[in-house]
Structure 1
Amino acid sequence: MKKLLMAAAAIIIVIVIVLGVARWLEQRPSEQTGAQQPPLAQPEHCADVEFISAPGTWESNAVDDPFAPQANPNSLMLQITNPLTEQFQGQKVKIWTLPYTAQFRNINAQDEMSYDDSREEGIARVEQELRDVHAECPQTDFILAGFSQGAVLLGDVANKIGVHGEVIPAERIRGVALLADGRRVPEAGQFVGNPVAGVGAEVALEPVNLLVQPIVPGATMRGPRDGGFGVLNDRVMEICAPDDTVCDAPRNVVNGVARARQLIESNGVHGMYATNPNVIPGTTAVQWVIDWARDLIQQ
């Protein structure tokens, strides 16, 4: 009788274990069983693609309308976003222009916000937009494009996403275009157009950062981005006009103060990305970005 009870108990234990394993297999995540998870829900009002534009220094302000920017009608980035807005009007494409102070305190403009503070403000607002939209619209993809200070801050955001896995998933980024990136190095991203021998001003001036502070107080020369763009490297397009001292500065700085002064003086090359035929053969940098963005939006 004792053996019979023990056998019955053993059978019951086996049945309980089998039922428990079966229930665990039913409830564990689908990727563990080989089945595909259903796509995250996307509300009907969400865009398929959001194009984020970051204007350069003095081309935006902190209270500008991101959907109808008016801070600077001559903003280079408007020459990109206006045609895209016109072409994709009525479609599920969102064009959002970063509103930020966009200033650069220097020896000739002591009352302006420092470059460091302006850039960080821009980064924080772009990241907030990315996080908010991704939380509400998890299937929306993003295209980022910026000029000058706007290129620097978007490059920093791309670094966070592609290298550090922060802000939003990297797979939600379709592409990044950086025009006149002050932290540009040839080892990071894909260079578009005629070759240049120099690097970004922040890279060239990093060794003499303390010396240039009297000229550009609060503008830290931080050097290249640690890790570049990581998994986004093939999707980041770097565009720099030859002899634009913002992105094509000599690596060996002989006179850091003189080079810093060049940053705050009128730079004709830096202001001609919409018309300069010497940036990208057969087209202009602005037209190239428009065509590139159209292709990414329609893919």
Structure 2
Amino acid sequence: MKKRTAFTAVNSAVALMASLVAVAQAEPETPDTPEAASACPAVNIVVAAGSFESTANDSPEDIRGFAHGVNFAAELQNAFPRQVTAWQVPYPSSVSVLGSALDARTLEERAHGYLPYGASRAEGVRMATEHMAELAARCPDVKFLVAGYSQGASVAGDTVTAVGRGTVPGVTSDSILGTYLLADPGRSPLGTETVSLANGAEGIRSVTGEVFIPLDQGTPPAHYEGLTGPRASTAFTSFGDRVLSICHPSDPACSTAPGRLPQRVGDALNELEKSPDHEQAVKAGLTDPKVLGVMFLISLPLFVLMLLGIFSPIPKLVASAAGLSGLNDGQRAALRALATELSVVGGVTQAFHQEQSSKAGEAVSPIVWDVDKLSTDAGSSQSSRLSSVAVSQLLKGHHHVPYFTQGGQKPYTIGGKVVDQWIHDDMQARIEAVTQQP
């Protein structure tokens, strides 16, 4: 699969119960035997890439890392043979049919169907936790390093949260050697406690317990959160300094004003479950030629409705267009799934618009101007508010990319070191502490 980066800002099952039973019953493979012990790594690195960077058909042994720059998982696996292994989460990494227009992958690189963001994320968490439980069953002393970028950070963060809740068999908080949440849509607001890391970096304890590592390029406003809203208040409280979060202050995936329309839409899409239409949607999504043709046919009434500030009939119009002749089942499913998503987004926007229209002044925390640069939910109608959100998020989207040495822009740094290299070096130090190998 080609390496690309796409903004936010969700299988091949490697942990079947049958394999666990087989492992438990086969004496030569039990953790107590020398043969099994010699096959157990000291550390396993679990990596979840960002949106449009993986599919459920991928091999988890194909370690691609993130989109650009240092593939630290593969490099560290090679640097510590037999002691370090890596596993790439093979999850859909999709963001709904609505977001499929941003998918730059070829059709050959995509899996069938287009899950909503929340369903894709949930699939990633399921696969990651099953893998960790299966490995821990064979190798109870194994430690895990978990890293994710963008949607992958949602997967990584939720996976470690599940560990903290005690719902991943055989894996405890002490099993987590380190976690790296890069541009995390589930990032929580900053607290006031300063935390000193072993590598000399200074961090800030966040409300849910992770340690936020400021970039040289700045720190988000303390009350800002991720696009999908923060996790439960106790998500990372049992991990000490072993869950690290990194976010540029203008990255729309991880630095957004709480309670504003972008976050409310992001939260709604994060909660949207998959439907048969999502699973059957044509691979190309909105970029399928016939789907595009249908959208062109209804573009005039769509434009008029948007111009008049009337949004509620739009989902029904798109759904009815799925009945046009000449479409196959996947194309019809894509249009119906799109209608469902538009209905969810429209409902959230309508509620927000009514709330703002009924109150004088600011109804929620004010936007910090020099971070957002553009109002993200202004407008006199439901449609105009959505248009404002779309424009502002796209304009800020370029801040989501430069965490990597080869991101095409001047990269972000921590203490003068490019972020992906900083993560590599911090991981290496944690591995050396466990393996006692300089």
- Do these two structures clear the TM 0.5 threshold for a shared fold by scoring above it? yes
| Counterpart residue identity of residue 248, structure 2 | A
Counterpart for residue 76 of structure 2 = 84
Structure 2 vs 1, CA of residues 115 and 260 (structure 1 numbering), >3 Å: closer, same or farther? farther
Q: 1:99 aligns with which of 60, 77, 90?
A: 90
SS in 2 for 1:44: helix
C-alpha distance in 2, partners of 1:279/1:251?
26
Counterpart for residue 357 of structure 2 = none
Counterpart for residue 398 of structure 2 = 268
Q: 1:127 aligns with which of 129, 150, 153?
A: 129
Match status 1:230 vs 2:237: yes
Counterpart for residue 60 of structure 1 = 54
C-alpha distance in 1, partners of 2:428/2:163?
23
SS in 2 for 1:245: coil
Q: Which runs of 5+ in 2 are unaligned?
A: 1-30, 102-112, 191-206, 261-375, 378-384, 434-438
C-alpha distance in 1, partners of 2:393/2:94?
13
Counterpart for residue 16 of structure 1 = none
Counterpart for residue 209 of structure 1 = none
Which region of structure 1 is more displaced relative to structure 2, 289-298 or 268-277? 268-277
Matches within 5 A, 1:138-177: 138-162=140-164, 164-167=165-168, 168-177=171-180
Matches within 5 A, 1:201-216: 201-203=227-229
Q: Percent identity?
A: 27
SS in 2 for 1:117: helix
Is the contact between residue 77 and residue 146 of structure 1 (CA under 8 Å) also seen in structure 2?
no
SS in 2 for 1:269: helix
Deviation per CA, 1:165-210: give whole Å up to 9, x if none. 221211111111100010101223101123211210112xxxxxxx
Q: Which runs of 5+ in 1 are unaligned?
A: 1-39, 204-222
Structure 1 residue ranges, 4+ long, deviating more than 6 angstroms after superposition = none
TM-score (norm 1): 0.72
Matches within 5 A, 1:183-198: 183-185=186-188, 186=190, 187-188=207-208, 189-194=210-215, 195-197=219-221, 198=224
Is the contact between residue 200 and residue 247 of structure 1 (CA under 8 Å) also seen in structure 2?
yes
Cα displacement (A) at 1:69: 4.2
C-alpha distance in 2, partners of 1:176/1:108?
28
SS in 2 for 1:267: helix
Cα displacement (A) at 1:53: 0.6
Deviation per CA, 1:67-112: give whole Å up to 9, x if none. 2246xx9724863223223322x23210111111111015352862
| Counterpart residue identity of residue 54, structure 1 | A
Structure 2 vs 1, CA of residues 288 and 183 (structure 1 numbering), >3 Å: closer, same or farther? same
